[in-house]
Amino acid sequence: MRIRRWMVAMIVAAAVVGAGTTSAEAHEQPGRLVNAEGLPKDLWLPETGRAYRVKYTSTGYDGRRVIVSGAVFVPPGRAPKGGWPVISWAHGTVGVADVCANSRAGRSQRDIDFLTTWLAAGYAIVASDYEGLGTPGEHAYLNGRSEAYGVIDIVRAARKLDHSLGRAWLSVGQSQGGQASLFTGSVIRKYAPELDYRGTIATAPSSQLRLTASVAKPFDAASPANPSVLMIVAGLRNTHPKTFDAARYLTPYGQELLAKAMNTDCYTAIAQQLAGKHGTDIFDVDAAEQEELLRMIDQDAEIPISRYREPLFIGQGTADLTAYPLATKITADKLREAGSKVTFTFYPGADHGGVMAAAKADMLTWAAARMR
């Protein structure tokens, strides 16, 4: 009786399960499959034929080899000639604690609906949790290179696990993931020149963060407390452990919330606790400290402006109160001026999460053209 390729892949993956992660493994080439198992059915997306939870090697924010987790979703039925085209999904902010990792905690209904459409359209989906979410080490929140490496290396690992996945792929991301997807486009040719990368899709990406901060004024007494800024502080604490003292920038209440965010509470829980609070309830910073924060954020998180070899699709809702619409437009314009091929669209009335549904048809059409 013939055994399907994917069954062989599962048998091989099962042999890896339980092998554990040694220090030697962590120093091997990025994109090596470390561990694979069947994803529990309650975490499957609709329209999934088979799904895996994986761990793989990648490159951390500091250039060292790390282990990252994620999930792989394959459509039902027989793959087309050349294999399933692949979407590497870069998720938006879920938190910085291990319990927030999507491959363990599941996904929001918004993301489930969005990703199901891609599966139904005949794409396999690989979805990184990012460095430090669900694996040893801390999450490098908004560190663009760390996120991009995780997005890329799960493609390498997934193709070794399931041979029905084809070579051609795109990165697709929202919010934090939009930033990660754009970083992916900026580093792909040097980091993974062997991969058949076709382009970048980003909706509501985190960008032009100085401008966004000047509009949102997250540290002011009159401004609503912003949970994303607390996540940024957590990220800087993790990626600059010797030079960044988070306690200097936080009130006692802010320090209490940071501890929860680092260990037990995901984004939604933190946002609920901040309802009705203001910037000065969690932050205690003067002008010089604000400048230092912005300098570090620029260093780690600002979208690289250069000529990207593969085309970009960037979508932005006009009613977005998280990713400042003008900031996204400025980023798109700068990338175009630098020689990148950019398709940019405003979606009137769409808020931060709503842009995913508003732009979905355009994204699918754009992606199909890139995959031809």
Q: What is the pLDDT of residues 94-116, one digit of tens each?
A: 999 999 999 999 999 999 999 99
Q: Nearest-CA neighbor of 93 among 81, 75, 111, 79?
A: 111
pTM: 0.92
pLDDT tens per residue across span 313-362: 999 999 999 999 999 999 999 999 999 999 999 999 999 999 999 999 99
pLDDT tens per residue across span 227-275: 999 999 999 999 999 999 999 999 999 999 999 999 999 999 999 999 9
Q: How far apart (Å, rounded) are the C-alpha atoms in residues 315 and 344?
A: 6
Least confident of 23-27, 191-195, 329-333: 23-27
Instruction: Label residues 189-225 b or e (16+ Cβ within 10 Å = b).
Output: eebbeebebbbbbbbbbbbbbeebbeebebbeeeebb
Asked if the model's pLDDT at residue 72 lies above 90, the reply is yes
Section 53-65 average pLDDT: 97
Q: From residue 175, how far is each of 92, 281, 287, 338 by CA, in Å?
A: 5, 25, 27, 23
Question: Which DSSP string corresponds to 167-192?
Answer: EEEEEEEETHHHHHHHHHHHHHHHH-
State the CB neighbour count (10 A cutoff) for residue 21: 14
Q: From residue 117, how far is each of 37, 90, 164, 344, 357 by CA, in Å?
A: 24, 16, 19, 21, 10
Q: Under 8 Å CB-to-CB from 117, ≥6 apart: which residues? A: 360, 364
Structure confidence at residue 311 (pLDDT): 98
Section 275-294 average pLDDT: 95
Asked if the model's pLDDT at residue 176 lies above 60, the reply is yes
Structure confidence at residue 19 (pLDDT): 38
State the CB neighbour count (10 A cutoff) for residue 239: 24
Structure confidence at residue 22 (pLDDT): 43
Q: How far apart (Å, rounded) are the C-alpha atoms in residues 344 and 216?
A: 23
Token digits of residue 287: 């002008």
Asked if the model's pLDDT at residue 174 lies above 70, the reply is yes
pLDDT tens per residue across span 142-172: 999 999 999 999 999 999 999 999 999 999 9
Q: How far apart (Å, rounded) are the C-alpha atoms in residues 306 and 151?
A: 20
pLDDT tier at 141, thresholds 50, 70, 90: very high
The residue among 305 and 11 whose pLDDT is bigger is 305
Structure confidence at residue 27 (pLDDT): 54
Structure confidence at residue 173 (pLDDT): 98
For 15, how many CA atoms within 13 A lie in the half-sphere containing its CB?
Answer: 6
Least confident of 6-10, 134-138, 180-184, 234-238: 6-10
Asked if the model's pLDDT at residue 18 lies above 70, the reply is no
pLDDT tens per residue across span 5-16: 444 344 334 434
* CB-CB contact of 173 with 83 (8 Å): no
Q: How far apart (Å, rounded) are the C-alpha atoms in residues 283 and 195?
A: 43
Asked if the model's pLDDT at residue 24 lies above 50, the reply is no
Element (H, E) at 38: strand 33-38
